[in-house]
Amino acid sequence: MEKRGRGVKSSPIQTPNQTPQQAPVTPRKERRPSMFEKEAYTQIVRERLRESIHDVQYVEPPFDDSIADIGKEWKSALAKLKFANSYRMEPLKKFQAHSVETKVQQILTESLKDVKYDDKVFSHLSLELADRILLAVKEFGYHRYKFIIKVLFIQKTGQAINIASRWIWDIAWDSWVAAKHEAESYMALVLVFALYYE
């Protein structure tokens, strides 16, 4: 008679003619391919490229030309370029507010020379002016700077106005420029914010 208690496993009594029960066979894990096998080389490189933060345009295979054709497929499959971090903490060329201010002021006076105040015209004109100023500022070649251009048209009706902008920025590299153009019926104000992007 067998005793069955809590937490105790009972084992069946074996007779000499019986064989012990075997544990169920678990399926084996697939073996990772060796990088020295021709077929496995491309698979390994593809997996590594998926996890890589660097952009690789072409991999020179160590074997014959059949693998080289696969490398050309990768080149077309890479849509967006990813670059490695340069660890640069300061710009190559610091933002020069004075030179940008003169250029913005020149664009503003040229664009609004003979323009009268009109709500409908100014809604489109503000977008066009912002695009022109952005292109002009980008021509200066300040790399790794993000620019925000704000164009405001204010009708003169005898009112006072205060304009304020708040930003969290690095006072060493970030800067801003303001330019204004005044006519009889309106005043135009352009604000250019240059933010260094590390």
Top pLDDT among 67 and 190 is at: 190
Question: Is 142 contained in some domain?
Answer: yes
CATH of the domain at 178: 3.30.1140.40
Question: Is 122 contained in some domain?
Answer: yes
Question: Is 86 contained in some domain?
Answer: no
Question: Is 180 contained in some domain?
Answer: yes
Contact 12, 23 (CB under 8 A): no
With a pLDDT cut of 90, the percent of the chain lying above it is 36
DSSP string, 83-144: -------S-SS---HHHHHHHHHHHHHHHTTTPPP-HHHHHHHHHHHHHHHHHHHHTT--TT
pLDDT tier, 198 (very low <50, low <70, confident <90, very high otherwise): confident
Nearest Cα neighbor of 101 from 166, 186, 173, 193 is: 193
Residue 167: pLDDT over 90: no
Question: Is 22 contained in some domain?
Answer: no
Question: Is 112 contained in some domain?
Answer: yes
Residue 190 sits in which domain range? Answer: 95-156+169-194
How many degrees, rounded to 5, is the angle at CA 51 between CA 45 and CA 57?
A: 55
Question: Is 53 contained in some domain?
Answer: no
Question: Is 131 contained in some domain?
Answer: yes
Domains held by the chain: number: 1
pLDDT, mean of residues 3-9: 56
